[in-house]
Amino acid sequence: MIQQHHDPRFAAVDGAAVLAALRPCVAADALLHTTEEMRPYECDGLAAFRQLPLAVVLPANEAEVQAVVRTCHQLGVPVVARGAGTGLSGGAMPHPHGVVLSLAKMKSILSIDPAARMAVVQPGVRNLAISEAAAEYGLYYAPDPSSQIACSIGGNVAENSGGVHCLKYGLTVNNVLRLRVVNIDGEIMEIGSGGLDAAGYDLLALMIGSEGLLGIVTEVTVRLLPRPQKAQVILASFDDVQKAGDAVASIIAAGIVPAGLEMMDKPTTAAVEPFVNAGYDLDAEAILLCESDGTEEEVAADIAAMTAVLEKAGAKQIRVSRDEAERLKFWAGRKAAFPAVGRISPDYYCMDGTIPRKRLGEMLKAIAAMESKYRLRCCNVFHAGDGNLHPLILFDANVPGEFERTEAFGTEILELSVKLGGSITGEHGVGVEKIDAMCSQFDADSLAAFHRVKTAFDPDGLLNPGKAVPTLHRCAEFGRMHVHGGQLSHPDLPRF
């Protein structure tokens, strides 16, 4: 069971004094403090873990963000930034003695420069809204998480989100040029540039994926790309998950970089097909979606090359989308995998890890064995091209013990990901969900280095405390790290 450590530093926070100090910072209706008002903010997409904050503030502009952060800093109050609340690692779960700073009102697209192929947006802008606004110029924003219709660009920056096309076009970090960030002192930092490079340390890469621990993003400049002339997708089915996994590795080994390369196993396609009627092969043990985009000639060459690789890898059925409508239909099932699984189970727990793509089949077979071990079903969805897996563990929270078994199941998947040469996260972040698993992936010196970076930006540990990076004390307490002689090597580190 994930546990939140009690931090005595914040126990003495005076709620009434905090509310009084925050009132001048924002409009009267932008400061929420009753239980009923704050209930929608008690969790993010990881609804298994909930906590009411001391207050919720909804600033309307950057100046109000500065005022709120300065006030919290002066009073020693934790600040948890929140985007659209679609995150899946508990990164936006409130602190009981802290303030949730929601950026939902800051949702303007400030400018689009079609010549420079960039857009400047506020953090509350929806991911998909950027592409919708850029469409008139023949441009779009490439990262496309499954939640792109709802997730915000600020949240994407915090988690370094990806999507089904990240194999070719990269994650958020590869598509953001510049950030404006409010630090814990309430000062503005401008990080990155509109050019190809910026002088000094690469603080842009450091800030992206930092999960709100280093600063509050108030403006994002994103890279826009020309819409490809054509896109076409192959739907391939396999009678064995190992063959499907090997096919993924073979496509990349052949020097092909698909625009998207996704895998779903048989239980997932069984859940998805009645939901979207995409035409999936329900007898297949696994299916692959392999997309190419570009010019007519580029797409034709890629489709031919991938088809040859898939045939050699043992695909039992190969279909190529005949038009744009069919291409979107094939993708609709993959995009709807999460809600489709929600129709067949009272609850599900979405994991997120990354492994070398050549070991996809090995991981799927291991997960099948875990299903028997924990007496729980699991549907598997993969960003197969880059080895990012999303096992969906099905459970019923109303059945005593099932959630505990689900957590243990998920923990074993993450630990195996590390053993196979991968990581405990691919795009969902660490948040509170995987904080103990961090102890399995990183040694004491690495964690100490992470804390030194955190301290450089936030000396008092007020920004999203207790998330993403565990203390050595926590790792030792949970038995995830060996501590010689019972002594922590860095006893001065904060215990969030």
In the chain, list all ranges with CATH 3.30.465.10. 109-226
Q: What residues contact residue 33 under an 8 Å CB cut-off, 6+ apart?
A: 19, 54, 55, 56
**Considering the chain, what percentage of its residues have pLDDT values greater than 90?**
85
User: What span, in angstroms and rounded, lies between the C-alpha atoms of 104 and 83?
Assistant: 6
Geometric angle at alpha carbon 172, from 169 and 174, rounded to 5°: 55
User: What span, in angstroms and rounded, lies between the C-alpha atoms of 345 and 395?
Assistant: 7
User: What span, in angstroms and rounded, lies between the C-alpha atoms of 34 and 55?
Assistant: 8
- Mean pLDDT across the stretch 456-483? 84
Q: Which two tokens stand for residue 276?
A: 């979207």
**Helices 241-253, 360-374: inter-axial angle, 10-degree rounding:** 150
Q: What is the CATH number of domain 230-338?
A: 3.30.70.2190
Per-residue pLDDT tens digits for 243-300:
999 999 999 999 999 999 999 999 999 999 998 899 999 999 999 999 999 999 999 9
**Considering the chain, what percentage of its residues have pLDDT values greater than 70?**
95
In the chain, list all ranges with CATH 3.30.70.2740. 347-419
- How many other C-beta atoms are found inside a 10 Å radius of the C-beta of residue 457? 19
CA quadruple 324, 170, 214, 414: dihedral sign? positive
Q: What does the chain come to in residues?
A: 496
Q: What is the CATH number of domain 8-102?
A: 3.30.43.10
Q: Which CATH class is domain 347-419?
A: alpha beta
> Does residue 490 have a pLDDT over 50?
no
- Mean pLDDT across the stretch 189-213? 92
Q: What residues form DSSP beta bridges with 380?
A: 391
> Does residue 391 have a pLDDT over 90?
yes
* Least confident stretch, 12-16, 62-66, 310-314: 12-16
User: What span, in angstroms and rounded, lies between the C-alpha atoms of 397 and 122?
Assistant: 37
pLDDT band at 491 (very low <50, low <70, confident <90, very high): very low
Helix H or strand E segment including 238: strand 230-238
**Using alpha carbons only, how large is the chain's radius of gyration in Å?**
23
Which among 232, 350, 244, 355 has a CA at the least distance from the CA of 294?
Answer: 232
User: What span, in angstroms and rounded, lies between the C-alpha atoms of 97 and 12?
Assistant: 9
Question: DSSP per residue over 365-410, as a string?
Answer: HHHHHHHHHHT--EEEEEEGGGTEEEEEEEE-TTSTTHHHHHHHHH
Fold classification of 109-226 (topology level): 3.30.465
Q: What residues contact residue 421 under an 8 Å CB cut-off, 6+ apart?
A: 355, 356, 359
CB of 334 within 8 A of CB of 262? yes
pLDDT at 361: 86
Q: How far apart are the first and last CA of the chain?
A: 17
pLDDT at 4: 52
- 3-class SS of residue 459: coil
Q: Which two tokens stand for residue 200?
A: 């000094």
User: What span, in angstroms and rounded, lies between the C-alpha atoms of 157 and 346?
Assistant: 31
Average pLDDT, the chain: 92
CB of 234 within 8 A of CB of 288? yes
- How many other C-beta atoms are found inside a 10 Å radius of the C-beta of residue 484? 8
pLDDT at 492: 38
pLDDT at 478: 62
Which among 434, 431, 418, 452 has a CA at the least distance from the CA of 93?
Answer: 431
**361 Cα distance to chain centroid:** 23
Query: What are the residue ranges of helices labelled H in 177-323?
Result: 203-207, 241-253, 266-276, 296-313
pLDDT band at 6 (very low <50, low <70, confident <90, very high): low
Per-residue pLDDT tens digits for 360-378:
889 999 999 999 999 999 9
pLDDT at 495: 34
pLDDT at 335: 87
- Mean pLDDT across the stretch 182-199? 91
User: What span, in angstroms and rounded, lies between the C-alpha atoms of 112 and 130?
Assistant: 9
Per-residue pLDDT tens digits for 413-457:
999 999 999 999 989 999 999 999 999 999 999 999 999 999 999
Q: Which two tokens stand for residue 365?
A: 């077979």
